């Protein structure tokens, strides 16, 4: 795991080692449009240096000013709302009248930042409980969902890998996809039983198991995506058969439309898959944006994964001319 919020925690740890005071802010609620999701972190050092973000910059300017004045979380844990009125929304740069609620906590030894970082570096998922009255923090293994919880007494947040990406094939495209996915908070596993494919991918788990065995061992849940990229049905289909009958939120395979049609025919005739089960298969994999090179295709795959994560349906474009396209819905006759 290596994302923006983890970088915030690392920066806080460095500040504490250098003897700086700091305040940590956690987005606890949003209304309307908001630049960052619930759970996002921002940290402000005593002299105004900032790590992370909660807005486009205007709220951060206010935090820096309050920190330098000594008024940010000066009396302990503090809950602040930005953008309640139209004037505030305009002042703080919140789009479309959005509103943001942030809990700020002054940091110290009781904040357990280094212990949290150590657990995250081991790849663990951690539940952090902050007592609002005392500022004391306790850490425990995360169990269940990732939902942030806030009441009058405590703030509960979950840290660590929230999403998993299982890639079949360790070729060039898979390597680009794996590296990019790390930045999007995915815990990445690359599976390829072929001996000639053994890339060095820091932060990525590599397995030589057969894809069906590896997918069963992974036990895909609603936070797991499975993407098959070998072009070899003997490998890709093994993983897809397991993934399509799992809770994975996304299952995709590379290949042309003709190849996808043949794959679905194989799955139906030889393995008994229904049309409903195969409807979850994305293929050709990725957002249809004209991507051609391996890194471009990796970007298109991650774009489609992001849409699936947030429940967005992106209309498939129809190419009309150089530099111009419209959706199939727009092209259809009235």
- pLDDT tens across the length of the chain (334 residues): 346 788 999 999 999 999 999 999 999 998 766 667 888 899 999 999 999 988 766 788 889 999 999 999 999 999 998 875 556 655 665 655 568 899 999 999 999 999 999 998 887 889 999 999 999 999 998 876 667 899 999 999 988 777 899 999 999 999 999 999 998 878 899 999 998 998 999 989 999 999 999 999 998 888 899 999 999 999 999 999 999 999 899 999 998 899 999 999 999 998 899 998 898 899 889 988 888 899 999 999 999 999 998 788 777 665 555 555 544 444 333 3
Two structure tokens written together for 96: 């479309």
Question: Is the pTM higher than 0.85?
Answer: no
List, in order, residues 6 or more apart from 17 with CB less than 8 Å away.
none
Give the tokens for residue 52: 């992370």
The answer to whether 38 and 27 have CB atoms below 8 angstroms apart is yes
Rounded CA-CA distance 306/313 in Å is: 11
CA–CA separation, 5 and 267 (whole Å)? 41
Of 81, 80, 75, 82, which is closest to residue 133 (Cα–Cα)? 75
Domains of the chain (ranges, CATH numbers): 4-159 (no CATH), 163-319 (3.40.50.720)
How far is the C-alpha of 167 from the C-alpha of 286, rounded, in Å? 13
User: What is the three-class DSSP state of 204?
Assistant: coil
Own/partner pairs, 11-15, CB within 8 angstroms, 24+ separation: 11/43, 11/51, 11/52, 12/43, 12/51, 12/107, 12/113, 13/113, 13/114, 13/117, 15/43, 15/45, 15/49
Q: What is the structure's pLDDT at 291?
A: 85
In the numeric block, which tokens belong to residue 291?
């991507």
Residue recorded with tokens 């951690």: 126
């Amino acid at each position: 795991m290596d994302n923006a919020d983890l970088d915030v925690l690392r920066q806080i740890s460095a500040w504490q080692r250098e003897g700086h005071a700091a305040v940590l802010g956690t987005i606890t609620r949003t209304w309307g449009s908001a630049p960052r999701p619930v759970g996002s972190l921002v940290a402000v050092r005593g002299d105004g240096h900032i790590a992370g973000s909660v807005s486009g910059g205007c709220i951060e300017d206010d935090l820096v000013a309050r920190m330098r004045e000594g008024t940010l979380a000066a009396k302990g844990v503090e809950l602040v709302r930005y953008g309640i009125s139209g004037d505030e929304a305009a002042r703080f740069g919140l789009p479309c009248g959005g509103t943001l609620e942030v809990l700020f906590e002054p940091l110290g030894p009781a904040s357990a930042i280094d212990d949290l970082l150590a657990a995250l570096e081991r790849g663990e998922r951690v539940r952090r409980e902050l007592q609002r009255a005392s500022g004391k923090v306790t850490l425990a293994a995360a169990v269940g969902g990732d939902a942030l919880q806030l009441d009058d007494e405590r703030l509960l947040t979950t840290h660590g890998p929230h999403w998993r990406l299982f890639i079949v094939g360790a070729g060039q495209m898979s390597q680009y996809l794996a590296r990019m996915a790390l930045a999007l908070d995915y815990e990445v596993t690359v599976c390829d039983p072929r001996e000639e494919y053994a890339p060095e991918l820091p932060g990525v788990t590599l397995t030589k198991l057969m894809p069906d065995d590896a997918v069963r061992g992974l036990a895909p849940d609603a936070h797991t995506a499975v993407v098959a990229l070998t072009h070899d049905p003997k490998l890709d289909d093994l993983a897809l058969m397991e993934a399509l009958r799992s809770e994975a939120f996304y299952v995709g395979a590379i290949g042309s439309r003709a190849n996808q049609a043949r794959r679905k025919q194989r799955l139906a005739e030889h393995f008994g898959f229904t049309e409903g089960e195969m409807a979850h298969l994305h293929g050709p994999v990725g957002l249809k944006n004209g991507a051609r090179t391996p890194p471009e295709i990796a970007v298109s795959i991650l774009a489609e994964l992001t849409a699936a994560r947030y429940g967005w349906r992106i209309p498939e474009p129809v190419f009309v001319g150089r530099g111009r396209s419209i959706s199939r819905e727009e092209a259809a006759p009235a």
